[in-house]
Amino acid sequence: MKKRILIIIAIIMIISTIIRTLIVGYSFLSYSKEIIQNESALIADIVMETTDKNKIINLIKYSKPINDVKFISGTKKGIIFDLNKKTIISFYPIGDKTLEIVYNGEIFLKKFKNAITQLLLIAFFSLILIIAIVNYFLNPYLEILESVKKSTKNILNGNFDYRLSTKLKGEAKNFIDSFNTFLDNLKESFNVIEENYTSFIEKKPTQNPLIDTKETIEQLANIFKFKRVIEDDMNETIILDRIANLIEKFNISHYALIGINNHNKKIFYIRKKGDICCSIEDNYTLCRAYRLKHEIDSKNYENLCTLHSCNNDYYCIPFSAEGNFTGILKIMDKNIKETLPYIKAYLKEASTIIESKTTLNLLKKQNIKDALTGLYNRRYLDEILPKILANANRNHSKVGFLMIDIDYFKKINDTYGHDIGDKVLKETSFIILNSIRKSDIAIRLGGEEFLVILTNIKDAQDAYKVAQKIRQNIQKRKISNINITASIGISIYPDLCKDSKTCIKYADLALYKAKNSGRNQVIIFNENLKTTS
């Protein structure tokens, strides 16, 4: 910048000197022309007033500044500057002739050259003086501008260590101090940002913290939005689907995303793309990442995981490694070094939410399920019945209520003990579950009493067939060499009852009738049972 300013000043001075020289030269020529015209007029007047014109012309001819004076034919007026011959010719008309006066131009040219030379020398020394003055007074300010330019360039490259200095005082010194303070604060701010974002994203900083910070803040904003979305998702599967979609947006073409329920020891989610060379779904307990609960990088050691079947690199990331849920992401793409920290940050944020939802679902199931048999309990019954009846009303379908009671259960407890009694309850629950559809609901009401709700049935005969199947399957099964039978009562909504409470009551009346009629049988409720209860 300093050189540029000095060059501009020099160019301005040169142009102004040229313009001044042209003006001075033109003025000099005009002035000289006017003098010659006046002198020529004086000579013409002298010649005209003299009777012996030739004598006067000869006298004038031999004067020092004049080379020749003569009459020429015709009339002509003006002045010619012949620089090649170093002469100035003046034409002055007298009558029908013209007086031609040839002046010696050497003196004129010498004076003209001296004037131009002096002008150029003055301009040259003025230029040097101005540059020296500008350089002396402006140079410190120009150096400040150069330093600011250099510092800005360093900042853009991620270097905040360059500081400005100056010998100036006053406002310039205040500016330098303020700028250096700004750099200190900027460096401190970026150090804080870098320290904090590396705690969120395990990414090694590059040589340009500006670009790092920009990319990381953008990703953190996206992660925050992602977290807000998945917090409102209904279940873990939806969240894992979102993670899989996100992974594909990172242009990863070979991966597997697996969700494992640690409570029931089952894989409940798996999504794969490309060839992952892995049989984790067959036996996830052999997965090294799952067992050790930390990341696996195949580059660290050859043949690291026994489940991996190909001779290529892979990366396995377990997330939410503690608690009721564990997810595993396996990636086989080579160029993932830049995106991997961001993927891990997404998994870290998502794992907490998935773990929370898994735990809440587990607690809910534990709250609505019988601890001994695994069947739903009364609390779940109160929650689900309004929905079942509302759905039946919408679809104009029927609902069957089967009240089941194990015959002589108290005797079994008293004779064989409570451990055998608990075993009978578990086995009976298993038989009931395997005798009904998945859409039907089995509930343990308490003790040896069970309730089965059959959804979307045609009539009472459908319910009767299911009840007989349950009764027969219980009768066929010996539990600890004990023959077990069950009595079952049936009511049908809305044919025999109009609300859930009444339906359960009527099924219980039918069960009472079955037990009083010899047990091990199925009875459908009818109006006559109301009078016998």
Active site residues: 448
Q: How far apart are CA 430 and CA 166, in angstroms?
A: 89
CA 355, 356, 357, 360 torsion-angle sign: positive
459 backbone dihedrals φ, ψ, rounded to 5°: -160, -175
Q: How many CB atoms lie within 10 A of CB 102?
A: 18
What is the distance between the alpha carbons of residues 31 and 28, in angstroms, rounded to a whole number?
A: 5
Question: Which of these, 218, 187, 185, lies nearest to 203 by C-alpha position?
Answer: 218
- Cα diameter, the chain: 182
Tokens describing residue 264: 């029931």
Distances (CA, A) of 500 to 388, 401, 453, 506: 10, 9, 11, 10
Helix 340-368 × helix 378-395 angle, to 10°: 100
| 91 closest CA partner among 75, 68, 108 | 75
Using DSSP's 3-state secondary structure scheme, residue 51 falls into: coil
Classify residue 284 by its DSSP letter: G
Backbone torsions φ then ψ of 369, nearest 5 degrees: -120, 150
User: What is the CA 23 to chain-centroid distance, rounded?
Assistant: 67
CA distance from start to end of the chain: 109
What is the number of other CB atoms lying within 10 angstroms of the CB of residue 4? Answer: 9
Among 510, 425, 533, 416, residue whose Cα is nearest residue 460: 510
Q: Which helix (H) or strand (E) holds 497?
A: none
Q: Cα(289)–Cα(294) distance, rounded to whole angstroms? A: 6
Q: Rounded to whole angstroms, how far apart are CA atoms 328 and 256?
A: 8
Q: In 242-355, at which residue ranges do the beta strands (DSSP E only) sit?
A: 255-261, 266-273, 296-297, 315-319, 325-331
Phi-psi label, residue 283: left if phi above 0, alpha if psi -120 to 50, beta otherwise: beta
**Using CA atoms, how far apart are residues 166 and 164, in angstroms rounded to an integer?**
7
